[in-house]
Amino acid sequence: MLVLGIETSCDETAAAVVRRQTEMLSNVIASQCEHLRYGGVVPELAARAHIKLILPVIQQALDEADVTLDDLDGIAVTSGPGLVGSLLVGISAAKSIALARGIPLLGVHHLEGHIFANFIANPELAPPFICLLVSGGHSELMLVREKGDYQILGRTCDDAAGEAFDKVAKMLELPYPGGPSIQKEAETGDPRFVDLPIAQVKKNPLDFSFSGLKTAVLTILESHDRDWLTDHRADIAASFQEAVVRALVSKTIAAAEANHIDTIVLAGGVASNRRLRELARQETSVRGMAVFYPPLKLCTDNAVMIAAAGAYRLANGERSDMTLNAIPTLKLGTRS
């Protein structure tokens, strides 16, 4: 079964072809550079850039997989959550191809895609597992009982982890996206330079909160001058990264222990963070747990993950019809 995946939920125009749910035949990602000078994604510019890029990107994904539209058994497209104008470009392209060729169409949840990136990368991975899904828009801790069965154990009360990286990078005058910039800057910094607060959420200890951390960084910066920032930018970046990573890993381990699960999976853009991977490896190995994460290219937004999740659901007989619409706040899973 050959499935074309299309992903346009934010500022990446991506298309990919997957065979038999887990074999990646192509993975094309066009990152939009229009947003760089604004220090964040501008929705209007993103939608316009998707329009320009979508057909060449789809064609390249077919060419690299050495297939044509006639060979496809299905099309999977991100239908939410995301920016409505961006989502609609991918959905319209997917619908047009599906209608013109008479191929089954399926709308895929972007976050389910991030989870499925792990099945592509780690064929031995099998539920149940605890998934820490951390991206620019989401920070969720979930119990994946089986493919398609997601129980939300915790989520952020304010900023997503990636959003916190992006905002603090801006404060430190580091380029967008903030995650990779802070990671790079942190390489030469002292993670113990300042002990930043890791917020505990009273109502649910597995929920995250990153806004206090962001305010703490701002307070430090406001009490010093620019020369101090130049001298200590790397130290602040390292201390901030350490605080976020410790909060993420400690809650993920707590979720695994509370649910008697010994497999942990990292997903989403922030899962590419080197320190997060390292601490997750350390903390799982001392407890005899296993940890999985995708390679860097499949952590951040891509269409392989959408094709993989779509292929699984298409194989189960699920279909979308031509009323498929963009749902910017589409939900995944049930909250415990």
Closest approach of Cβ 87 to ligand KG4, in Å? 12
For the chain, how many residues are written? 336
Q: Does 135 bind Zn ion (CB under 5 A)?
A: yes
Residue choice 140, 159, 166, 283 for contact with ligand KG4 (CB under 6 A): 166
Q: Does 165 bind ligand KG4 (CB under 6 A)?
A: yes
Closest approach of Cβ 112 to Zn ion, in Å? 11
Give, to the nearest 10 degrees, the angle between helix 226-258 and helix 178-186: 110
Residue choice 80, 90, 113, 180 for contact with ligand KG4 (CB under 6 A): 180
- Please state whether beta strands 263-267 and 129-134 pair in parallel, antiparallel, or not at all (unpaired): parallel
Q: Does 178 bind ligand KG4 (CB under 6 A)?
A: yes
Q: Does 191 bind ligand KG4 (CB under 6 A)?
A: no
Contact 110, 9 (CB under 8 A): yes
Q: Does 90 bind ligand KG4 (CB under 6 A)?
A: no
179 binds, among ligand KG4, Zn ion, none (CB under 5 to 8 A by kind): ligand KG4
Nearer to Zn ion (CB atom), residue 62 or residue 307:
307
Please, what is the Cα angle at 301 between 297 and 306, to 5 degrees?
Answer: 100
Q: Does 159 bind ligand KG4 (CB under 6 A)?
A: no
273 binds, among ligand KG4, Zn ion, none (CB under 5 to 8 A by kind): ligand KG4
Q: Cα separation of 112 and 324, whole Å?
A: 17
Nearer to ligand KG4 (CB atom), residue 263 or residue 272:
272
Residue choice 13, 86, 209, 273 for contact with ligand KG4 (CB under 6 A): 273
Residue choice 80, 113, 127, 179 for contact with ligand KG4 (CB under 6 A): 179
Site for Zn ion in 281-310 (CB under 5 A): 301
Q: Does 5 bind ligand KG4 (CB under 6 A)?
A: no
**Token pair of 301 as six digits:** 């937004």
Q: Does 137 bind ligand KG4 (CB under 6 A)?
A: yes
Q: Does 112 bind Zn ion (CB under 5 A)?
A: no
Binding residues (CB under 5 A) for Zn ion: these are: 135, 301
Binding residues vs ligand KG4 (CB under 6 A) = 10, 135-137, 162-163, 165-166, 177-180, 183, 268-270, 272-273, 300-301
